[in-house]
Chain A
């Protein structure tokens, strides 16, 4: 802003006590500024925050495009009107800011949070049929805010869009309506042309949606198609809902000393994550971190490892200038002459282990009682167990 005349663009700032400010200009027209007050002892504040703030800016911009369309934002004719229009995406942005729902990491990882249903083929067939009938190639079944099944084309959307649409679905279904017809712009795919997002609630916690053109009408789809395709599957859906936040079918057995897992499929840009609920409250010493804390730790560890060691696909594909915009932290990972494969961290609360294979990234937390040298075996076993059981 100040330095544009001199050819200088400010990108980030850091102050004592962990306060951070991040700037980013989108489409040469809108500048978003994210400020995080450091604060003393706030949860998860400081150091790693810059990556989060950058993600946040990116997501907020995508949100605004999703709701309003890029043209509206770049050629501002009436500022007051834009301000008013922007209110419609406040709910979504709030969701991004507050990160209310536990266990949703997509905003950070840009990988769609998924739920692996016990019998995926049934759901997949039903969804494919349903989308075809709705004259759409983009269909998605969302259970507990996570993608349980989606058409092939849906997965071909930009990962960021998939994540955002899931977020939109969550906020729409939180509104409690049984169905809705919502115009969306796809930030990457069609930032200027709107599509219709038809959403139907199948069961509380289970929603299905399609992205389609002018037809069919919401009413026709709701009355004609939803019942036809989904009524036979109510029991299956209930089975899905029963999985709850574990996200994995019961057939996958996990070792008891795994506190939390985040598994990312790097090709499909999907992720599965869960935190073990303290089923057996054994008085352990030191006490295990709470569930919310586990989620937080998992996120922090993800940021920690990806910024330092594991390169992400998108960082490799973007141009150097854009990478510079995203900040410096990622080029640390590029400074290693040899390739990092695994890393672990022993802190006062728990032990964390991350590993990366060409196909997957796995991050897991274990209690302190697990010996450090066993972490590696534990992680590889967990990975092979999940992959073998679900084909994720």
Chain B
């Protein structure tokens, strides 16, 4: 295929100088090579996942993660003694990827094979079972290519655990109530007590017609099935009295049972229950499972007792037809606790109607006591329909509830349809909505569970709330020497109109935004999408093998038709917009495409175009070069120096620490003695000196840790594009340099040399795909000196603990990276950060109020707030010394809103010893970091 590439650097609101556009020729050749190779030989592995409406959500973990999953699964084996059945039919049926395996399985390798093959169909499930040929793409997973299947051939090998359950059935009990048979459940419900909703009735139209397995979707109270206690929701009914059953023949089989008898029911168990009792951490994080659309039942079950619900109610009640629950257009979830909320929906309807008359404003929120629990309810009214979301008090304050409702609304705007109503009322949206809300509530109610296996032991709820609530994306400040330029190239087919115009794109690395060419509004929309699907944490914690997302979107600004169209005679083209997200390992690029306008108009629901996907993929592969630079930045000491709270506590913890240090070094023992002697005084300085040295082994440790990851990364990077051998050269060079860096940073003397070496390596191996954007001219020492001079606080000691700076115009915020925070380990410090975030929530609420005043004239009585600060006091935990009172440390958390010259919000946390002027600090920060 002939491709002509037009390299075009989209520069919408570029924050970074786009130096990369200087050598477009290299870029072009690369693109051609890559896309043509992948186009001609192989179909991309995500092709089968595309849904009928063109949407795609394809997520594949990297090899490293899969191995971990396998090891976990292997560890689990041998516990259950159920037998294994291999069958061809079941290949697409089984979605559970960590089924337990039996003892007899010989080696891990075999396991791996089985599981991997089993994974494929499970990934495909999001697509609604489009096709079933599991065609492995050698480009993506080389180990799997050994077992590459021929296209079209189905060789599903499945591990399945079966259980036999004896149930007592009495068909005579049905005698009188013949009516029950007429409704959908039939004998299955009436006799056995198993509720099975056919896929058709669930609105899942994409299911392959004929036979369908009998998944237990529900159990009827007092039925034989529930009484026996072994049939669980999610199980699959396989056979009754040795007769294989499907949705086709179950009614016939059951009707053949003559009288009261014991029937053995063979069921393929969903192993969720056993897994739970074993309490082993699931191999693949819950989040991924949730995204894959698997196993929502278990997660849902764990929050069943928490009253939470979303309902979409119609305000127009047709009194002529008093049907039950007619006003409920949509509802999720169906559990007991939320049923209570459903029961009182009359309140919501009445309040919505009445309060508008009384107070003259739409209802925003209300709180009510449900049993003993306080539940907050947020409302959104749109024409004649009312969206109600209820959340328990423990998990969110009422403000959050309202915000969530609104942002959810916006999200929907962006995501599905222009009107809420159409999103809720279309039948085939129901499963997607279910999935959506499942994610929504899981994130809200048990965020820790989704991210288990991650490093954070205590989830910082207010931190998440605060940082996610900011209308901004986390920006990673890179040294000016590392310039990121990525140029999504638009392509023209000869003689054809372009399919899409690239409106802009943004690039994330490990959840940090590192480059953006999108207008702010679009950026925020895209970010909201990523946040909802937890894509950012996914990319930072788990190495994503490959992620391809494609869907039609409705960006707020563009959908409204307003926004940029200020120039006379110019109106925004009214096209359709598509969001393409491609993730490779820690990188993730989001591209917003427009069809219509100056490109050809899209008709129907087009799926992702290989060329565009490959292009983005190619860009990401090129950017791998940058990974070392970014990792360096992430591993570097915090740019504005940060202090750890624990250092400021005179005795106690500091003493403990020193004691532990003293054992290793005679110098420290002296120091410890000094500090023990005089609890205050010169503590800070001496501790700092010691800390600076002390932190280095820690850092190099973390470096080597990431180094290992990097190794794996480059390995799989190679595997992604096997034909591109030159790519490996800079990789190894970089690795070498990186390692030396990390070693050198321990003793600051050697670092200069290693920095130079690094540079030499890069120079020696000119990479044809090297954009010339990664320039590291400063030696390590120089950078370190630069960092050291970046001090926000005044006075001799650095008293800064934490900061957040938000740039409203660009829609980004800067905060110390998680790694920077982790470096400052300590017992008090994490607590302090939690406290800081909690306080920021409060401060920001105050700022929001004052902005409201300016907009509506309403707001609150205190008037516009410019600055707000709180002084906190903390004590070391577990203070055992009875004689002396616990030492205390006081620190300020201050928020400052600047409207001039550019709107900024600045939150800072520093020790109480020096009086600071926050404005000055904010300016120092924003200029020092050179946004």
Residues of A within 8 A of B (CB): 2-3, 6-21, 35, 37-38, 40-41, 43-48, 296-297, 300-301, 304, 308-309, 321, 324-325, 327-328, 331-332, 335-349, 352, 355, 372-373, 376
Is B885 part of the binding interface, using a Cβ–Cβ cutoff of 8 Å? Answer: no
| Cross-chain contact A7 with B340 (CB below 8 angstroms) | yes
| Cross-chain contact A343 with B871 (CB below 8 angstroms) | yes
With A8-B344, A337-B835 in contact, do A304 and B862 touch (Cβ < 8 Å)? yes
Kindly report which residue of chain B lies nearest to residue A327, judged by CB atoms: B367
**Sampled A-B contacts (26; CB under 8 Å):** A3-B344, A6-B343, A8-B347, A8-B370, A9-B368, A10-B347, A10-B366, A11-B368, A11-B369, A15-B362, A18-B860, A19-B358, A38-B359, A43-B861, A324-B369, A325-B369, A336-B835, A337-B832, A337-B834, A338-B874, A339-B873, A340-B839, A345-B868, A347-B850, A355-B871, A372-B917
Give A14 to B856 CA distance when docked, in angstroms.
Answer: 16
| Cross-chain contact A15 with B861 (CB below 8 angstroms) | no
**Nearest Cβ in chain B — how far from A28, in angstroms?**
14
Is B431 part of the binding interface, using a Cβ–Cβ cutoff of 8 Å? Answer: no
List residues of chain A with CB within 8 A of the CB of B343: 3, 6, 8
With A373-B915, A373-B917 in contact, do A18 and B868 touch (Cβ < 8 Å)? no
Give A274 to B924 CA distance when docked, in angstroms.
Answer: 40
With A324-B374, A340-B871 in contact, do A345 and B865 touch (Cβ < 8 Å)? yes
Interface residues of chain A: helix, strand, loop or mixed (majority): mixed
Kindly report which residue of chain B lies nearest to residue A8, judged by CB atoms: B344
**Nearest Cβ in chain A — how far from B885, in angstroms?**
12
**Nearest Cβ in chain B — how far from A176, in angstroms?**
34
List residues of chain A with CB within 8 A of the CB of B365: 13-14
**Nearest Cβ in chain B — how far from A296, in angstroms?**
6
With A7-B370, A8-B368, A343-B868 in contact, do A21 and B355 touch (Cβ < 8 Å)? yes
**Nearest Cβ in chain B — how far from A290, in angstroms?**
13
| From B340, B860, B861, residue with most partner A Cβ within 10 Å | B861
**Nearest Cβ in chain A — how far from B569, in angstroms?**
37
Give A178 to B20 CA distance when docked, in angstroms.
Answer: 91
Q: Which residue in A46, A338, A340, A348 is a CB contact (below 8 Å) of B858?
A: A46
List residues of chain B with CB within 8 A of the CB of A2: 344, 346-347, 350
Q: Which residue in A41, A321, A341 is a CB contact (below 8 Å) of B372?
A: A321
With A37-B359, A338-B831 in contact, do A372 and B863 touch (Cβ < 8 Å)? no
With A7-B340, A21-B358, A335-B462 in contact, do A346 and B870 touch (Cβ < 8 Å)? no
| Cross-chain contact A346 with B866 (CB below 8 angstroms) | yes
List residues of chain B with CB within 8 A of the CB of A345: 846, 862, 865, 867-868
Kindly report which residue of chain A lies nearest to residue B832, judged by CB atoms: A338
| Cross-chain contact A324 with B393 (CB below 8 angstroms) | yes
| From A17, A43, A325, A349, residue with most partner B Cβ within 10 Å | A17
**Nearest Cβ in chain A — how far from B351, in angstroms?**
6
**Nearest Cβ in chain A — how far from B848, in angstroms?**
10
Is B857 part of the binding interface, using a Cβ–Cβ cutoff of 8 Å? Answer: yes
Is B729 part of the binding interface, using a Cβ–Cβ cutoff of 8 Å? Answer: no
With A13-B351, A16-B361 in contact, do A348 and B367 touch (Cβ < 8 Å)? no
Q: How many A-B residue pairs lie within 8 Å, measured between CB atoms? A: 201
**Nearest Cβ in chain B — how far from A359, in angstroms?**
16
Q: Chain B, 309-346, contact with A by CB distance < 8 Å: what is the 0/1 string?
A: 00000000000000000000000000000001001101
Give A376 to B364 CA distance when docked, in angstroms.
Answer: 38
| Cross-chain contact B861 with A347 (CB below 8 angstroms) | no
Residues of B within 8 A of A (CB): 340, 343-344, 346-347, 350-351, 355-356, 358-372, 374, 376, 393, 397-398, 462, 831-832, 834-835, 838-839, 842, 846, 849-850, 856-874, 890, 915-917
List residues of chain A with CB within 8 A of the CB of B370: 7-8
List residues of chain B with CB within 8 A of the CB of A11: 366-369, 374
| Cross-chain contact B872 with A340 (CB below 8 angstroms) | yes
Give A297 to B863 CA distance when docked, in angstroms.
Answer: 9
Give A325 to B861 CA distance when docked, in angstroms.
Answer: 24
Interface residues of chain B: helix, strand, loop or mixed (majority): mixed
**Nearest Cβ in chain A — how far from B897, in angstroms?**
10
With A15-B361, A339-B873 in contact, do A347 and B865 touch (Cβ < 8 Å)? yes
Kindly report which residue of chain A lies nearest to residue B889, judged by CB atoms: A338
List residues of chain A with CB within 8 A of the CB of B356: 15
Q: Which residue in B398, B860, B863, B868 is a CB contact (below 8 Å) of A348?
A: B863
Q: Which residue in B360, B366, B842 is a CB contact (below 8 Å) of A37?
A: B360
Give A296 to B860 CA distance when docked, in angstroms.
Answer: 12
List residues of chain A with CB within 8 A of the CB of B347: 2-3, 8, 10
**Nearest Cβ in chain B — how far from A2, in angstroms?**
5
List residues of chain A with CB within 8 A of the CB of B340: 6-8
Give A13 to B367 CA distance when docked, in angstroms.
Answer: 6
List residues of chain A with CB within 8 A of the CB of B359: 15, 17, 19-21, 35, 37-38
List residues of chain A with CB within 8 A of the CB of B873: 338-341
| Cross-chain contact A328 with B363 (CB below 8 angstroms) | no
- Top 7 nearest A-B pairs by Cβ distance? A19-B359, A16-B361, A44-B861, A342-B871, A13-B366, A17-B361, A15-B361
With A9-B368, A35-B359, A300-B861 in contact, do A336 and B856 touch (Cβ < 8 Å)? no
| Cross-chain contact A372 with B867 (CB below 8 angstroms) | yes
List residues of chain B with CB within 8 A of the CB of A335: 462, 838
With A3-B347, A338-B832 in contact, do A14 and B862 touch (Cβ < 8 Å)? no
List residues of chain B with CB within 8 A of the CB of A7: 340, 370-371
Q: Which residue in B369, B462, B858, B860 is a CB contact (below 8 Å) of A48?
A: B860
Give A15 to B381 CA distance when docked, in angstroms.
Answer: 12
| Cross-chain contact B857 with A41 (CB below 8 angstroms) | yes
List residues of chain B with CB within 8 A of the CB of A43: 861
Give A325 to B344 CA distance when docked, in angstroms.
Answer: 18
**Nearest Cβ in chain B — how far from A352, in angstroms?**
8
Give A355 to B344 CA distance when docked, in angstroms.
Answer: 43
List residues of chain A with CB within 8 A of the CB of B397: 328, 332
| Cross-chain contact B355 with A15 (CB below 8 angstroms) | yes
List residues of chain B with CB within 8 A of the CB of A325: 369
Give A41 to B854 CA distance when docked, in angstroms.
Answer: 11
Kindly report which residue of chain A lies nearest to residue B342, judged by CB atoms: A6
With A11-B374, A345-B862 in contact, do A17 and B872 touch (Cβ < 8 Å)? no
